[in-house]
Amino acid sequence: MTTAHTFAAKQLTSGYDERIILDNISLSIPSNQMSIIIGANGCGKSTLLKTMARLIKPSGGEVVLDGKSIHTIPSKQLARTVGLLPQSPVVPEGITVADLVGRGRYPHQSLLKGWTKKDYEAVAEALDLMNISAFADRHIDELSGGQRQRVWIAMALAQQTDILFLDEPTTYLDITYQIEILDLLTDLNKKHGTTIIMVLHDINLSARYADYLFALKDGQLVAEGTPATILTSALIDDVFQLKCQVIDDPVSQTPLIIPIGRHHTNK
């Protein structure tokens, strides 16, 4: 079971080059829960995730882990607490599943020790959690998109961090695989207490799977809270400029967004 952490953004300003995308955002990630960042394209949700996961250096403010700015923590040490699965990782030619997942052990290894029993166990467990032990020796190129994504998540799991960032982990996947990935991440969160923060495009899946939502618009945090408390048609209109009805998801009893377009409406 993982330990609890405080992880927060303080007056964070960030962007690419001179362009400011995130403007003075402060938020605190709930420990041991699954948080999802939602918002329209270009609202800064991916930038927020990347800045908190130290891929982008903020131009103002700081990201604070257990009271310390993450930029003052040695990178390997930080990588034992905070893990990250970016949107488009590179698959080296000819790499096997086990080799790729094993590379997630990097922050736990030193030059002198080499592979320890702990490393083998962590990799075996990660493969097991993602149900991919059977393909440990297969080449990544032979796998389907959904299987590949499970391999990448297993790589991040082998890192054994208490906090895990995922940037749109279900993009380009069929609905079946999207549900499978989200279920596996929920298992991880329930079994290990891993704090998960991710960006998702699908509001309804976000509403179903998130313990906590952050809604972003134009680089500002406009709402945060549990899906049931914050997801209203007013919020969706504000964040996405979309008229909708919110009903109860008959399966999960979470809010379900029914968009209202210009056509196919009864009224």
133 binds other proteins (CB under 8 A): yes
Name which of 93 and 267 has its Cβ closer to other proteins: 93
Judged by CB under 8 A, the number of residues near other proteins is 52
80 near other proteins, judged by CB under 8 A: yes
Taking the C-alpha atoms of residue 217 and residue 238, their distance in angstroms, rounded to an integer, is 8
Residue 161 CA to residue 58 CA, distance in Å, equals 23
Burial class (CB in 10 A: 0-12, 13-18, 19+), 142: exposed
Whole-number Å distance between alpha carbons of 19 and 22: 9
Q: How far is the CB of 120 from other proteins (least distance, A)?
A: 4
Cβ-Cβ contacts under 8 Å for 132 (sequence gap 6 or more): 97, 147, 150, 151, 154
| Nearest distance in Å: CB 245, other proteins | 38
Question: What single string gives the DSSP state of each residue in 116-158?
Answer: -HHHHHHHHHHHHHTT-GGGTTSBGGGS-HHHHHHHHHHHHHH
Judged by CB under 8 A, the residue of 3, 6, 26, 77 near other proteins is 77
Out of 102, 169, 219, 255, name the contact with other proteins by CB under 8 A: 102
Q: Does 112 bind other proteins (CB under 8 A)?
A: no
Residue 159 binds other proteins, judged by CB under 8 A: yes
Tokens of 14: 């960030």
Q: At closest approach, how far in Å is the CB of 25 from other proteins? A: 20
Cβ 117 to other proteins, closest distance in Å? 6
Residue 1 or 93 with smaller CB distance to other proteins? 93
